[in-house]
Protein backbone atom coordinates (compact mmCIF):
# COMPACT_ATOMS: atom_id res chain seq x y z
CA UNK A 1 0.00 0.00 0.00
CA UNK A 2 1.47 3.33 -1.07
CA UNK A 3 1.50 6.19 1.40
CA UNK A 4 2.15 9.68 0.11
CA UNK A 5 3.71 12.20 2.46
CA UNK A 6 3.14 15.92 2.02
CA UNK A 7 2.39 18.70 4.48
CA UNK A 8 0.08 21.55 5.36
CA UNK A 9 2.41 24.18 6.68
CA UNK A 10 4.72 22.17 8.92
CA UNK A 11 2.11 19.53 9.73
CA UNK A 12 2.71 16.19 8.03
CA UNK A 13 -0.11 14.94 5.83
CA UNK A 14 -0.21 11.24 4.99
CA UNK A 15 -2.44 10.03 2.19
CA UNK A 16 -3.29 6.56 1.04
CA UNK A 17 -6.03 4.78 -0.88
CA UNK A 18 -7.77 1.44 -1.09
CA UNK A 19 -8.17 -1.06 1.73
CA UNK A 20 -6.26 -0.77 4.98
CA UNK A 21 -6.22 -4.25 6.49
CA UNK A 22 -3.87 -6.54 8.39
CA UNK A 23 -1.99 -7.18 5.18
CA UNK A 24 -1.50 -3.57 4.14
CA UNK A 25 -1.44 -1.49 7.34
CA UNK A 26 2.32 -1.85 7.80
CA UNK A 27 3.15 1.02 5.45
CA UNK A 28 0.75 3.38 7.25
CA UNK A 29 2.21 2.30 10.57
CA UNK A 30 5.74 3.04 9.35
CA UNK A 31 4.79 6.41 7.87
CA UNK A 32 2.91 7.43 11.00
CA UNK A 33 5.73 6.27 13.22
CA UNK A 34 8.22 8.34 11.20
CA UNK A 35 6.00 11.42 11.52
CA UNK A 36 5.64 10.91 15.25
CA UNK A 37 9.35 10.34 15.61
CA UNK A 38 10.01 13.75 14.14
CA UNK A 39 8.25 15.31 17.14
CA UNK A 40 5.19 16.76 15.42
CA UNK A 41 2.27 17.61 17.71
CA UNK A 42 -0.33 17.11 14.96
CA UNK A 43 -0.38 14.55 12.18
CA UNK A 44 -3.04 14.42 9.45
CA UNK A 45 -4.16 11.36 7.53
CA UNK A 46 -6.25 11.74 4.38
CA UNK A 47 -8.74 8.86 4.20
CA UNK A 48 -10.92 10.18 1.37
CA UNK A 49 -9.85 7.40 -0.97
CA UNK A 50 -9.81 4.66 1.65
CA UNK A 51 -12.69 2.26 1.04
CA UNK A 52 -12.13 -0.14 3.93
CA UNK A 53 -10.32 -0.37 7.24
CA UNK A 54 -10.12 -3.21 9.73
CA UNK A 55 -8.72 -3.69 13.22
CA UNK A 56 -5.19 -3.72 11.83
CA UNK A 57 -5.60 -0.18 10.50
CA UNK A 58 -7.68 0.96 13.47
CA UNK A 59 -4.93 -0.26 15.81
CA UNK A 60 -2.43 1.91 13.95
CA UNK A 61 -4.69 4.94 14.43
CA UNK A 62 -5.23 4.15 18.12
CA UNK A 63 -1.52 3.76 18.65
CA UNK A 64 -0.89 7.13 16.99
CA UNK A 65 -3.53 8.79 19.14
CA UNK A 66 -2.04 7.33 22.31
CA UNK A 67 1.33 8.78 21.40
CA UNK A 68 -0.04 12.19 20.43
CA UNK A 69 -2.71 12.66 23.08
CA UNK A 70 -0.48 14.41 25.60
CA UNK A 71 0.96 16.90 23.16
CA UNK A 72 -1.50 17.19 20.29
CA UNK A 73 -3.84 15.17 18.11
CA UNK A 74 -4.21 12.91 15.10
CA UNK A 75 -6.62 14.14 12.45
CA UNK A 76 -8.26 12.16 9.68
CA UNK A 77 -9.79 13.73 6.61
CA UNK A 78 -12.87 12.57 4.73
CA UNK A 79 -13.52 9.04 6.02
CA UNK A 80 -16.47 7.47 4.20
CA UNK A 81 -19.58 6.72 6.32
CA UNK A 82 -18.68 3.05 6.79
CA UNK A 83 -15.14 3.82 7.88
CA UNK A 84 -16.48 6.54 10.17
CA UNK A 85 -18.81 4.04 11.85
CA UNK A 86 -15.83 1.86 12.70
CA UNK A 87 -13.95 4.84 14.10
CA UNK A 88 -16.97 5.41 16.33
CA UNK A 89 -17.25 1.78 17.43
CA UNK A 90 -13.65 1.66 18.65
CA UNK A 91 -14.11 4.93 20.55
CA UNK A 92 -11.93 7.19 18.45
CA UNK A 93 -14.64 9.78 17.78
CA UNK A 94 -14.81 10.69 21.47
CA UNK A 95 -11.07 10.61 22.07
CA UNK A 96 -9.64 14.08 22.75
CA UNK A 97 -6.54 13.11 20.82
CA UNK A 98 -8.45 12.38 17.63
CA UNK A 99 -10.28 14.66 15.22
CA UNK A 100 -12.25 14.13 12.01
CA UNK A 101 -12.51 16.66 9.19
CA UNK A 102 -14.75 16.70 6.17
CA UNK A 103 -12.03 18.01 3.88
CA UNK A 104 -8.54 19.45 3.77
CA UNK A 105 -9.77 23.00 4.14
CA UNK A 106 -11.41 22.16 7.46
CA UNK A 107 -8.24 20.45 8.65
CA UNK A 108 -6.15 23.41 7.61
CA UNK A 109 -8.47 25.76 9.48
CA UNK A 110 -8.10 23.67 12.63
CA UNK A 111 -4.33 24.00 12.47
CA UNK A 112 -4.62 27.75 12.98
CA UNK A 113 -6.84 27.47 16.07
CA UNK B 1 -23.86 -24.48 -4.63
CA UNK B 2 -27.39 -23.35 -5.21
CA UNK B 3 -28.72 -20.44 -7.17
CA UNK B 4 -31.90 -20.00 -5.15
CA UNK B 5 -31.75 -17.17 -2.62
CA UNK B 6 -33.80 -19.33 -0.28
CA UNK B 7 -31.01 -21.77 0.41
CA UNK B 8 -27.78 -20.54 -1.10
CA UNK B 9 -24.59 -22.17 0.12
CA UNK B 10 -21.07 -21.37 -1.05
CA UNK B 11 -17.60 -22.02 0.21
CA UNK B 12 -14.07 -20.87 -0.51
CA UNK B 13 -10.83 -22.27 0.85
CA UNK B 14 -7.72 -20.10 0.93
CA UNK B 15 -4.27 -20.17 2.47
CA UNK B 16 -4.30 -18.92 6.04
CA UNK B 17 -2.32 -15.76 5.37
CA UNK B 18 -3.15 -12.07 5.54
CA UNK B 19 -2.88 -11.77 1.76
CA UNK B 20 -6.03 -13.92 1.57
CA UNK B 21 -8.16 -11.42 3.50
CA UNK B 22 -8.93 -9.31 0.43
CA UNK B 23 -10.02 -12.46 -1.44
CA UNK B 24 -12.31 -13.39 1.45
CA UNK B 25 -13.86 -9.91 1.47
CA UNK B 26 -14.59 -10.12 -2.26
CA UNK B 27 -16.32 -13.45 -1.62
CA UNK B 28 -18.39 -11.94 1.19
CA UNK B 29 -19.32 -8.93 -0.91
CA UNK B 30 -20.40 -11.13 -3.80
CA UNK B 31 -22.63 -13.34 -1.66
CA UNK B 32 -24.09 -10.53 0.46
CA UNK B 33 -24.83 -8.42 -2.60
CA UNK B 34 -26.49 -11.38 -4.27
CA UNK B 35 -28.59 -11.80 -1.14
CA UNK B 36 -29.74 -8.19 -1.71
CA UNK B 37 -28.41 -6.83 1.56
CA UNK B 38 -28.13 -3.09 1.98
CA UNK B 39 -24.66 -1.77 1.14
CA UNK B 40 -24.04 -0.87 4.78
CA UNK B 41 -24.74 -4.43 5.91
CA UNK B 42 -22.51 -5.76 3.15
CA UNK B 43 -19.71 -3.65 4.61
CA UNK B 44 -20.49 -4.91 8.14
CA UNK B 45 -20.21 -8.51 6.96
CA UNK B 46 -16.96 -7.83 5.15
CA UNK B 47 -15.43 -6.39 8.31
CA UNK B 48 -16.72 -9.11 10.63
CA UNK B 49 -15.72 -12.04 8.40
CA UNK B 50 -12.36 -10.43 7.65
CA UNK B 51 -11.72 -9.99 11.38
CA UNK B 52 -12.60 -13.60 12.16
CA UNK B 53 -10.35 -14.70 9.32
CA UNK B 54 -7.51 -12.45 10.52
CA UNK B 55 -7.75 -14.06 13.96
CA UNK B 56 -7.56 -17.49 12.39
CA UNK B 57 -4.55 -16.45 10.31
CA UNK B 58 -2.82 -15.07 13.36
CA UNK B 59 -3.24 -18.33 15.22
CA UNK B 60 -2.38 -20.62 12.34
CA UNK B 61 0.75 -22.50 13.32
CA UNK B 62 2.24 -23.31 9.95
CA UNK B 63 2.36 -22.08 6.36
CA UNK B 64 0.28 -25.00 5.16
CA UNK B 65 -2.75 -24.01 7.21
CA UNK B 66 -5.94 -23.39 5.27
CA UNK B 67 -8.93 -21.25 5.96
CA UNK B 68 -12.45 -22.13 4.90
CA UNK B 69 -15.22 -19.56 4.68
CA UNK B 70 -18.70 -20.95 4.14
CA UNK B 71 -21.68 -18.76 3.27
CA UNK B 72 -25.11 -20.05 4.16
CA UNK B 73 -28.20 -18.11 3.15
CA UNK B 74 -31.47 -19.14 4.71
CA UNK B 75 -34.82 -17.35 4.42
CA UNK B 76 -34.25 -15.27 7.53
CA UNK B 77 -30.50 -15.14 7.97
CA UNK B 78 -27.20 -14.98 6.19
CA UNK B 79 -24.35 -16.71 8.00
CA UNK B 80 -20.65 -16.87 7.29
CA UNK B 81 -18.75 -19.67 9.00
CA UNK B 82 -14.98 -19.26 9.27
CA UNK B 83 -13.01 -22.42 10.00
CA UNK B 84 -9.28 -22.81 10.19
CA UNK B 85 -8.06 -26.23 9.18
CA UNK B 86 -4.68 -25.58 10.74
CA UNK B 87 -3.80 -26.39 14.32
CA UNK B 88 -4.03 -23.55 16.76
CA UNK B 89 -1.13 -22.50 18.94
CA UNK B 90 -1.67 -21.25 22.47
CA UNK B 91 -2.27 -17.51 22.88
CA UNK B 92 0.88 -15.52 23.44
CA UNK B 93 0.57 -12.45 25.68
CA UNK B 94 3.59 -10.91 23.96
CA UNK B 95 2.06 -11.44 20.53
CA UNK B 96 -1.21 -9.88 21.65
CA UNK B 97 0.60 -6.79 22.92
CA UNK B 98 2.91 -6.40 19.94
CA UNK B 99 0.04 -6.63 17.47
CA UNK B 100 -2.16 -4.25 19.45
CA UNK B 101 -4.90 -6.84 19.19
CA UNK B 102 -8.26 -6.86 20.87
CA UNK B 103 -10.37 -4.84 18.45
CA UNK B 104 -11.46 -7.69 16.25
CA UNK B 105 -13.89 -9.25 18.70
CA UNK B 106 -15.66 -5.98 19.64
CA UNK B 107 -16.06 -5.16 15.97
CA UNK B 108 -17.60 -8.56 15.21
CA UNK B 109 -20.04 -8.24 18.10
CA UNK B 110 -20.94 -4.64 17.28
CA UNK B 111 -21.58 -5.27 13.60
CA UNK B 112 -23.28 -8.68 13.62
CA UNK B 113 -26.68 -9.79 14.90
CA UNK B 114 -25.23 -13.09 16.14
CA UNK B 115 -21.68 -14.29 16.77
CA UNK B 116 -20.76 -17.74 18.03
CA UNK B 117 -17.55 -19.67 18.54
CA UNK B 118 -16.93 -23.41 18.68
CA UNK B 119 -13.77 -25.40 19.31
CA UNK B 120 -13.73 -28.75 17.55
CA UNK B 121 -11.64 -31.76 18.57
CA UNK B 122 -8.22 -31.46 16.95
CA UNK B 123 -7.91 -27.75 17.54
CA UNK B 124 -10.00 -26.24 14.76
CA UNK B 125 -11.98 -23.20 15.79
CA UNK B 126 -15.16 -22.16 14.03
CA UNK B 127 -16.59 -18.66 14.12
CA UNK B 128 -20.15 -18.11 12.88
CA UNK B 129 -21.28 -14.61 11.97
CA UNK B 130 -24.90 -13.92 11.13
CA UNK B 131 -27.14 -11.09 10.07
CA UNK B 132 -30.86 -11.58 10.53
CA UNK B 133 -32.56 -10.59 7.32
CA UNK B 134 -35.85 -9.68 8.96
CA UNK B 135 -34.17 -6.88 10.83
CA UNK B 136 -32.35 -5.42 7.89
CA UNK B 137 -33.54 -3.50 4.92
CA UNK B 138 -32.74 -5.27 1.69
CA UNK B 139 -32.39 -3.89 -1.77
CA UNK B 140 -35.26 -4.91 -4.05
CA UNK B 141 -34.15 -7.41 -6.68
Q: Which CATH number fits domain B9-135: 3.90.480.10, 3.30.565.10, 3.20.20.140, 3.40.50.1000?
A: 3.30.565.10
Pairwise CB contact (< 8 Å): A21 & B22: yes
| Distance between CA atoms of residues B74 and A103, nearest Å | 42
**Closest CA of chain B from A1, distance in Å:** 12
Instruction: Residue B46: list chain A partners with CB under 8 A.
Output: 52
* Domain boundaries A4-111, corresponding CATH code: 3.30.750.24
- ipTM score of the complex? 0.89
From chain B residues 43-72, the ones with a CB under 8 A of any chain A CB are: 43, 46-47, 50-51, 54, 57
DSSP assignment letter at B90: P
Report the pLDDT value the prediction gives residue B62, as an integer from 0 to 100: 62
The strands making up B114-119's β-sheet, listed across from edge to edge, are B9-15, B66-74, B77-84, B125-132, B114-119
| Distance between CA atoms of residues A29 and A74, nearest Å | 13
Report the pLDDT value the prediction gives residue B4, as an integer from 0 to 100: 47
Instruction: Residue B110: list chain A partners with CB under 8 A.
Output: 89
Report the pLDDT value the prediction gives residue B86, as an integer from 0 to 100: 57
Report the pLDDT value the prediction gives residue B61, as an integer from 0 to 100: 63
Report the pLDDT value the prediction gives residue B90, as an integer from 0 to 100: 47
Which residue ranges of chain B lie beneath pLDDT 50?
1-4, 88-91, 94-100, 141
Cβ–Cβ under 8 Å, residues A93 and A62: no
| Distance between CA atoms of residues A18 and A86, nearest Å | 16
Nearest CA among A70, A3, A52, A56 for reference residue A32: A3
Pairwise CB contact (< 8 Å): A52 & B54: no
**pLDDT at A110 exceeding the cut of 60:** yes
Q: Among residues of chain A, what percentage have pLDDT more than 90?
A: 88
Could you tell me the residue ranges of all domains in chain A? 4-111
What is the per-residue pLDDT across A49-91, written as a single tens digit (0 to 9) for each? 999 999 999 999 999 999 998 999 999 999 999 999 999 999 9
Nearest CA among A91, A83, A84, A89 for reference residue A65: A91
Could you tell me the residue ranges of all domains in chain B? 9-135
Amino acid sequence: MDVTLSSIGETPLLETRGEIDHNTCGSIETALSDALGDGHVVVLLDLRRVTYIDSGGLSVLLSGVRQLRERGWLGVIGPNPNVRRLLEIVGLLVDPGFRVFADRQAAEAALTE
Amino acid sequence: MGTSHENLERVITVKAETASLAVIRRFVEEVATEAALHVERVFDLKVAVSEASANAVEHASCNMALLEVRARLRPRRLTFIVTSTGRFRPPSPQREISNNRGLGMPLMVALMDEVSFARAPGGCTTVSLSVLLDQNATVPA
